Amino acid sequence: MSSTIPATWFSRFTRWAWRLGKWTFFGALAYAALIVIGLFPVNNDFKPSPEGVEIFVVSTEVHADLIVPVSHELVDWSEEFDPAWFPGDISRYSHVAIGWGDRGFFLDTRTWADLKLSTVINALFWPSRTCLHVDLTQPEYYTTAVSVKLSRDQYRELTQFIKSTFQRDHQGRIIPIPGYSYSQTDTFFEAHGSYHLFNTCNSWVGLALRKAGVRTPWQSTLPHTPTLYLPN
């Protein structure tokens, strides 16, 4: 009897491990296939507008942002962002970097030393709450930023998408998250949407560009994919 129990337990464990390994393999294979299919471009007729509104796209191994002018005749972001929400003076900056992402990662991970495995697992494998990071800045601060010029209509579509991502109070104002910032010029805001393995910060940037008619991958889940088809 004593020799049968360990043998039975080992047999069950082996079958369980085999099934887990098999489904993990097929899951990874399916994800890779979706990523490859998602790289097919859309908006293939897009052409930059030489006299249009210049925006910048940042997509690194860590995060993705859209950088747009603070003030433009079509959209004046200073009407949305109350200077009192930011720790320091933001008046001298010409552009604003806006990025969407997992709330836990944004708010609880100020440095890599703060990164927890539970935060990563929750962000990737379970639909999680999100927020928007807003940083007043200058484009030249971003050495990897890719610029593209949009027509007036395209820029309007882009900014409408960005604005629609912000949660708003009953007065229509965007909702800041008090007490969180990385520097003197940034802060966080409540956002719509859930973050997960198939809907990342790069996905959000790619979707914004696609809605504006910019040539991008059909799905831009991974780092660097939002800028894959942008003109150099």
pLDDT band at 14 (very low <50, low <70, confident <90, very high): confident
Q: Domains of the chain: which residue ranges?
A: 1-38, 43-227
pLDDT tens-digit series, residues 81-113: 999 999 999 999 999 999 999 998 899 876 656
Helix 152-165 to helix 201-211 angle, to the nearest 10 degrees? 140
pLDDT tens-digit series, residues 113-165: 655 666 566 656 678 899 999 999 999 999 999 999 999 999 999 999 999 99
Mean pLDDT over residues 30-56, rounded? Answer: 87
For the chain, what percent of residues have pLDDT higher than 90? 69
Q: In the prediction, which pLDDT does 8 show?
A: 75
* C-beta of residue 189 within 8 angstroms of C-beta of residue 181: no
pTM of this prediction exceeds 0.75: yes
Mean pLDDT over residues 55-80, rounded? Answer: 95
Mean pLDDT over residues 178-195, rounded? Answer: 96
Q: In the prediction, which pLDDT does 17 show?
A: 66
Q: In the prediction, which pLDDT does 108 show?
A: 82
Tell me which residue of 117, 119, 103 sits closest to 194, measured CA to CA.
Answer: 103
Q: In the prediction, which pLDDT does 197 show?
A: 86
Write the CA distances from 159 to 4, 18, 29, 51, 143, integer angstroms. 67, 49, 36, 18, 23
Return mean pLDDT, the chain.
88
To which H or E segment does residue 150 belong? Answer: strand 146-150
Burial 132-145 (b: 16+ CB within 10 A, else e): bbbbbbebeebeeb
Q: In the prediction, which pLDDT does 1 show?
A: 46
Q: In the prediction, which pLDDT does 112 show?
A: 58
